[in-house]
Amino acid sequence: MFNAEKFIEEQIKKIRQDVKGKAIIAASGGVDSTVCAALVGTAIGERLLAIYVDTGFMRKGETESVDKMLRRLGVNHRVVDASDEYFDALKGVTEPEQKRKIIGEKFIRIFEREAKKFGAEFLVQGTIAPDWIESGGGLRDTIKSHHNVGGLPKDMNLKLVEPLRDLYKDEVRKVGRALKIEVAEKQPFPGPALAIRVMGEPTRESVAIIREACAIVEEEIEIAASKGKMKLPWQYFAVLLPVKSVGVQGDIRAYGLTIAVRAVDSVDAMTAVYSKIPHDVLETISCRITNEMKAKVNRVVYDVTNKPPATIEWE
Amino acid sequence: MFFDPNNTEKWNLDSAGDLYLSTIASIMRILVVDNGGQWTHREWRVLRDLNVESEIIPNSTPLESIKADGLVLSGGAPRVGLDSEKMGKCGEYIDKAGIPILGICAGHQFMAMHLGGQAAPSKTAEFGKMLVMVDDEDDLFKGLPDTFVAWESHNDEVTQLPPDFVALAHSDTCQIQAMKCSTRPLYGLQFHPEVEHTDSGYEMFQAFIDICAQNKKA
């Protein structure tokens, strides 16, 4: 079985051997990159700088809370606000693979800038097994291009370090618990963030809608789980569909957008089953969304598809 | 601050590493041949979790470089009935490796075709949860329930067993979910024992490891 302590020992040794100069790490505040930052930070201390990029696609209150969390973690870090850059880059982009590739490339260019400022020769990423597996290559089909597997452009002098590449999320969590990291139990969140939870072009407006809906889904499910009404799912969120349908709100005809609620149970994200959320919880979520976002959304549906044939996220 | 970058001495332990190495001599070595599947790495993980020395090797690896007690031919993206040339040297491994081989999904379909059976597009594809019914417990399903939940992901299936092969299990929409050769230690599974959602997947892998161990002694 996977032994977290042994893994940590071996990795620290390896990182000290391989990373002789300064390094920056791409830190999103998620489980993988935070565990990775703690691991590499333990190995090389002050020679590591964590870079958190606010892409404009983050969840409600996320940038502030990640900033505070990285402070508590004790890793040197910088918050980079690049939201204008990202929204510009995704103007008119609707195709999911294109979104992912553009976002991945933007990340790399920002890391390149920050690495130069810090004098780093190494770029550390918290890439894990499903990321490179699903990104394909050779015989393996590309299910989706993960943002952290785009590869470094040839003209870049950074060397890539990915200590967690062979691990799955459940193993990363074990490492996180061994290192006493507070976000070890946090739900997975994709690198492209809310940009891939809007089906279609991620504009400031559509991203604002899905940001609200995701916050409502997260809040209500967490309340229900804390009351013992249901098990906390592996991953739970909302997706904005470009489908409009007729409704009636306050005796007036409505023609609004649709939100799909998605929640799955899984161990390693490679296979998953849709969560059997109690109906009253689904109803609370549905009512809150359509009441609070009435001008935009008048219908809520629940995704009842396993993985395979679907993936957990929609894009 | 929960960790102090200046106090990292407690991680400098070598004793755990030495103990680990000394037990390798008695460990089985079963390699995973990568046919481009999504769960190839999971196959490696299960073997590692069961204390087997394992590596993922490309399916173009020359037979001479393979030193192992058993092989797993992984699932893959190639539609085996249509582009079996993407299965690399799997045919050579089956013919000449002389060790037990477990084919999973594309690996299982290729094994059937290579040895004179048939694989073709399924009338009904199976993705995700399926109920599999055991027809013959044999050595792979020993001690397991007659019916279990298995996770599938296939567009094609074995439609005709090769000579000397018997079917061990079926589902409502797929007649041959498991097969074995009665004269040599060759096994095929249409479903994926390596994923978390397949019941008793680890037990099936352990059964294959035991088959490899027995073959090694013989």
**Range A240-261 average pLDDT:** 95
B128 with A42: Cβ contact below 8 A: no
Residue B27: pLDDT above 70?
A: yes
pLDDT tens per residue across span A223-232: 999 999 999 9
**Over pLDDT 90: what percentage of chain A?**
90
ipTM summary value: 0.88
What domains does chain A contain, in order, with CATH numbers? 4-185 (3.40.50.620), 197-302 (3.30.300.10)
A8 with B11: Cβ contact below 8 A: yes
pLDDT category of residue B82 using cuts at 50, 70 and 90: confident
B127 with A134: Cβ contact below 8 A: no
Residue B21: pLDDT above 80?
A: no
Q: Which amino acid is at A131?
A: D
Residues of chain B with Cβ-Cβ distance to A129 below 8 Å are 41
B42 with A268: Cβ contact below 8 A: yes
Catalytic residues of B: 105, 192, 194
Res A145: pLDDT: 87
Q: CB contact, 8 Å: B19 with chain A?
A: no
DSSP for B180-207? Answer: EESSSSEEEESS-TTSTTSTTHHHHHHH
pLDDT category of residue B10 using cuts at 50, 70 and 90: very low
Q: How many CB pairs below 8 Å do chains A and B form together?
A: 96
d(CA B45, CA B51): 10
A42 with B76: Cβ contact below 8 A: no
Query: In Å, how far are A61, A82, A226, B84 from A212, measured between CA atoms?
Result: 11, 21, 21, 49
d(CA B14, CA B150): 41
**Range B84-100 average pLDDT:** 95
- Mean pLDDT of chain B, nearest integer: 89
Residues of chain A with Cβ-Cβ distance to B6 below 8 Å are 45
Choice between A148 and A238, residue whose per-residue pLDDT is larger: A238
pLDDT tens per residue across span B150-196: 999 999 999 999 999 999 999 999 999 999 999 999 999 999 999 99
Residue A125: name the closest of A222, A193, A28 by CA: A28
Residue B26: pLDDT above 70?
A: no
d(CA A26, CA A46): 16
d(CA B177, CA B189): 6
CA distance A68 to chain B (A): 12
d(CA A302, CA B136): 40
Residues of chain B with Cβ-Cβ distance to A25 below 8 Å are none
Residue A216: pLDDT above 60?
A: yes
Closest residue of A to B39, CA-based? A270
Res A209: pLDDT: 97
pLDDT category of residue B218 using cuts at 50, 70 and 90: confident
What domains does chain B contain, in order, with CATH numbers? 27-217 (3.40.50.880)
pLDDT tens per residue across span A5-40: 999 999 999 999 999 999 999 999 999 999 999 999
Q: Which of B58, B78, B128 sits opposite A309 (nearest CB)?
A: B128
Residues of chain A with Cβ-Cβ distance to B41 below 8 Å are 129, 133, 166
